[in-house]
């Protein structure tokens, strides 16, 4: 990769771009277009940098969006790459990092959950997994969401009776738990099933998740018939229930394609400068759910550009399937296939269906995309009206594009956290939510003013450092504070100390009777006011406040649970999650580990002599 950026030249537009041509050749690479404030306007890739840049140097023939971008360009930057595939990957990385104004941008890029069948235990467990695949085992996914995984796991436990308890829980059991009593587990923890028989259940579950459900059903039916003929009616009834649960799993799936084994179905619908992309996940011939996305697009962007940008950014941190079925052709299909193939480690095919089952599946996906976008546009229109009404109710200079709502949560000062939620023209912006672990050691337990001061100070000091000119869209237009005149006055004082004097803020207090619907609103320099009980703006503010409270409570509970679940092993050097599980499984509790002698520690699988000595010294030197 080579930087070929020449010195900038004065001016902007076509003339500036034209001056770069003499320094470019036909190499593949990535270019960036910057404005007068050095903000990145656009990131693009090119098979041939000179040819691509020369197209921008022409004064005519551009869409309105591209013409505006060219007019604002005062500088360009270039990186040449060895291959076109490398250019594609670099382009998508830069787009996600820099978020240029004129690029198509995937805004929701969360990971997807999967199902993990572990492999490091004699009796493997089945569980939900999200994030990096570090734990040893076989992963099945992605699923569209946690709900789809939870439903599938619940049904699979009824069919295959695999355990879902932790290894430490497994090791400490002396009698079967409730899962065994309600026929959701075979209780391997207490020896109710042999290792060999349990392994058969594991293999059946894995075959089902790999798309071999009909084979499993045939096998269970044969076993049920044999049990019935042998007059083992209780066993036959149990097998009947497992077959019924398996059938229910299959009927719960909306799409069960016959000719598609492993693919992502990607459908794009564009209307009035907005886009919806529907992605259906098909694995093992089964539909594992769908998710809709709303990438940021311009008013005159082409479908091919949107879909190619979406695919590149979507699979930047995900493993692609062997086949992508897409709704519209993309320009650099061959490069995209190579890039995805490198990530998967085998060939990836991108298919544009014309007829047959794949075309029928795409018709359904397109219908979903069209209906989802219609709902989204209706919600956006409603949100725009609410923001306008909010501005009118509180004499704001304009409808706020970004509202930040703050709340704290703690138990008598313990496990204290601050929470910030964000809302804007498209509703709640959950990828902008932030949580703050309260660090102030000098705070009095339960000092809400002190906690709020710490949160706001950390938030706005960061903003002042990263975006002092307020050009990146991260500064709020309105602050909502859960509290009355005292809280608003305190927040105003904090803002004054930071030199931020022009942010409107509203305190939301529950009123004299503390009745939901009789809220009073407090602003600096204004008398308290109220809104009509049925005013949509009142309901809107209530929803924002309740969402902030929900997020703060959830963050607090997670912090408290993590602290409660902590063990003395967490701080031992060299003891990670896997060795911690091994120690707990061997000794039954963290307390027993702290009392173990050196010989017993060395007997634990995966614990070397040196690590055993470290663990022994850690606890005995502390004692």
Provide CB contacts within 8 A for 98, sequence distance 6+: 32, 40, 43
DSSP assignment of 368-419: HHHHHHHHHHHHHHHHHHHHHHHHHHTT-SS--S-EEEEEEEEETTEEEEEE
The residue among 564 and 244 whose pLDDT is bigger is 244
The residues near 365 (Cβ < 8 Å, ≥ 6 apart) are 265, 266, 267, 278, 280, 290, 327
Say whether pLDDT at 201 is over 80: yes
The band of 154, judged by pLDDT with boundaries at 50, 70 and 90, is confident
Higher-pLDDT residue of 203 and 353 is: 353
- For residue range 424-451, what is the model confidence (pLDDT) as tens digits? 998 899 889 999 888 766 666 667 778 8
- Asked which of 6-15, 200-209, 270-279 is least confident by mean pLDDT, the reply is 6-15
**Which residue, among 593, 508, 565, has the nearest Cα to 542 in the 3D structure?**
508
Going by pLDDT thresholds of 50, 70 and 90, the confidence category of residue 616 is confident
Q: Is the pLDDT of residue 420 over 90?
A: yes
> Does the N-terminal peptide bond of residue 201 adopt cis geometry, omega within 30 degrees of 0?
no
pLDDT band at 414 (very low <50, low <70, confident <90, very high): low
Q: Return the closest-CA partner of residue 374 out of 297, 289, 272.
A: 272
Question: Does position 254 have pLDDT exceeding 50, yes or no?
Answer: no
Question: Which is more confident, 211 or 381?
Answer: 381
Q: How confident is the model at residue 412 (pLDDT cuts 50, 70, 90)?
A: low
Where on the phi/psi map is residue 565: left (φ > 0), alpha (ψ -120 to 50), or beta? alpha
> What sign does the CA torsion over 360, 361, 364, 370 have?
negative
Q: pLDDT of 283-317, one tens digit each?
A: 888 888 889 999 999 778 899 999 999 999 999 88
Domains of the chain from N-terminus onward:
2-98 (3.40.1440.10), 263-374 (3.30.420), 403-562 (3.30.420.340), 568-622 (1.10.150.20)
Q: What's the DSSP call for residue 605?
A: T
User: For all residues of the chain together, what is the average pLDDT?
Assistant: 85
Question: Percentage of the chain surpassing pLDDT 90?
Answer: 42
* pTM for this predicted structure: 0.73
Q: Convert the pLDDT of each residue in 569-584 to its tens digit.
A: 777 888 887 788 888 8
Instruction: Compute φ and ψ for 429, nearest 5 degrees.
Output: -105, 80
- Does the structure show a pLDDT above 70 at 251? no
Task: Give the three-class secondary structure for 46.
Answer: strand
Q: Rounded to whole angstroms, what are the CA distances from 612 to 46, 525, 584, 605?
A: 56, 66, 14, 11
Q: Which of 269-273, 336-340, 415-419 has the lowest mean pLDDT?
A: 415-419
The string of pLDDT tens digits covering residues 95-121 is 988 889 899 998 776 778 999 999 989
How far is residue 432 CA from its own chain's centroid?
Answer: 12
pLDDT of residue 623: 42
User: Which residue from 314, 330, 382 is spatially nearest to 543, judged by alpha carbons?
Assistant: 382
Strands in 412-477 per DSSP E? 414-424, 427-428, 434-437
> To which H or E segment does residue 491 belong?
helix 485-498
Note the pLDDT of residue 8: 47
Position 249 scores a pLDDT of 54
**DSSP conformation letters of 284-350:** TTEEEEEEEE--B--TT--HHHHHHHHHHHHGGGS---SEEEESS--TTHHHHHHHHHHHHTS--EE
**Which residue has tokens 């996305």?**
293
* % pLDDT > 70, the chain: 89
**Least confident range of 53-57, 233-237, 361-365:** 233-237
pLDDT at 2: 65
Q: Residues 138-166: what's their mean pLDDT?
A: 84
The answer, yes or no, to whether residue 499 has pLDDT greater than 80, is: yes
**Per-residue pLDDT at 470:** 83
- Write the pLDDT tens digit of every residue in 53-76: 999 998 888 888 899 999 999 999
Q: Does 5 have pLDDT greater than 60?
A: no
What token pair was written down for 393?
A: 């109710």
């Amino acid at each position: 990769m080579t930087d070929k950026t020449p010195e900038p030249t004065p001016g902007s537009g076509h003339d500036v771009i034209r001056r770069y041509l003499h320094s470019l050749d036909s190499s593949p690479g990535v270019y960036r277009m910057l404005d007068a404030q050095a903000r990145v306007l656009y990131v693009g890739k090119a098979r041939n940098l000179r040819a691509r840049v020369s197209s921008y140097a022409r004064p005519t023939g551009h869409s309105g969006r591209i013409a505006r971008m060219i007019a604002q360009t005062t500088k360009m930057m270039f990186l040449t790459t060895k291959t076109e595939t490398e250019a594609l990957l670099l382009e998508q990385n830069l787009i996600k990092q820099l978020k240029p104004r004129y690029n198509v941008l995937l805004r929701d890029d969360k990971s997807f959950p999967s199902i993990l069948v572990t492999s490091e235990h004699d009796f493997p467990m089945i569980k939900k997994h999200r994030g990096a695949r570090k734990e040893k085992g076989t992963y099945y996914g992605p699923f569209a969401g946690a709900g789809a995984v939870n439903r599938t796991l619940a049904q699979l436990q009824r069919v295959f009776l695999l355990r879902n308890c932790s290894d430490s829980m497994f090791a400490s059991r002396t009698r079967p738990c409730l899962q065994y009593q309600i026929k959701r587990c075979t209780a391997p923890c207490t020896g109710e099933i042999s290792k060999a028989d349990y392994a058969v259940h594991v293999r059946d579950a894995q075959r089902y998740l790999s798309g071999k459900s009909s084979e499993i059903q045939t096998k269970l039916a044969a076993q049920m018939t044999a049990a019935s003929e042998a007059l083992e009616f209780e066993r036959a009834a149990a097998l009947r229930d497992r077959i019924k649960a398996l059938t229910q799993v299959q009927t719960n799936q909306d799409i069960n394609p016959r000719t598609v084994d492993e693919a992502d179905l990607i459908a794009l619908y564009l209307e009035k400068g907005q886009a919806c992309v529907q992605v259906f996940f098909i694995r093992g011939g089964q539909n594992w759910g769908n998710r809709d996305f709303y990438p940021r697009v311009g008013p005159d962007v082409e479908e091919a550009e949107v879909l190619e940008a979406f695919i590149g950014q979507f699979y930047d941190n995900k493993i692609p399937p062997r086949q992508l079925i897409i709704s519209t052709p993309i320009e650099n299909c061959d490069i995209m296939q190579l890039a995805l193939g490198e990530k998967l480690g085998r060939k990836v095919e991108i298919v544009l269906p014309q007829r047959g089952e794949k075309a029928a599946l795409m018709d359904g996906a397109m219908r979903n995309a069209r209906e989802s976008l219609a709902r989204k546009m209706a919600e956006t229109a409603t949100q725009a009206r609410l923001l306008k009404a909010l501005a009118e109710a509180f004499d704001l200079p304009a409808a706020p594009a970004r509202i930040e709502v703050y709340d704290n949560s703690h138990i008598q000062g313990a496990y204290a956290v601050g929470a910030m939620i964000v809302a804007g023209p498209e509703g709640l912006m959950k990828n902008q939510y932030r949580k703050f672990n309260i660090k102030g050691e000098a705070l009095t337990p339960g000092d809400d003013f002190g906690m709020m001061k710490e949160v706001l100070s950390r938030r706005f000091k960061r903003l002042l450092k990263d975006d002092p000119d307020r050009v990146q869209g991260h500064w709020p237009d309105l602050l909502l504070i859960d509290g009355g005149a005292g809280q608003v006055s305190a927040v105003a004082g904090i803002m004054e100390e930071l030199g931020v004097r022009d942010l409107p803020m509203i305190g939301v207090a529950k009123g004299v009777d503390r009745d939901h619907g009789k809220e009073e609103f407090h602003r600096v320099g204004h008398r308290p006011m109220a809104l009509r009980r049925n005013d949509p703006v009142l309901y809107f503010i209530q929803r924002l406040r309740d969402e902030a409270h929900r997020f703060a409570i959830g963050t607090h509970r997670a912090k408290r649970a993590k602290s409660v679940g902590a063990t003395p092993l967490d701080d031992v050097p060299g003891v990670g999650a896997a060795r911690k599980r091994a120690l707990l499984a061997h000794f039954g509790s963290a307390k027993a580990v702290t009392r173990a002698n050196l010989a017993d520690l060395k007997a634990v699988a995966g614990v070397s002599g040196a690590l055993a000595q470290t663990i022994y010294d850690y606890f005995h030197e502390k004692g």
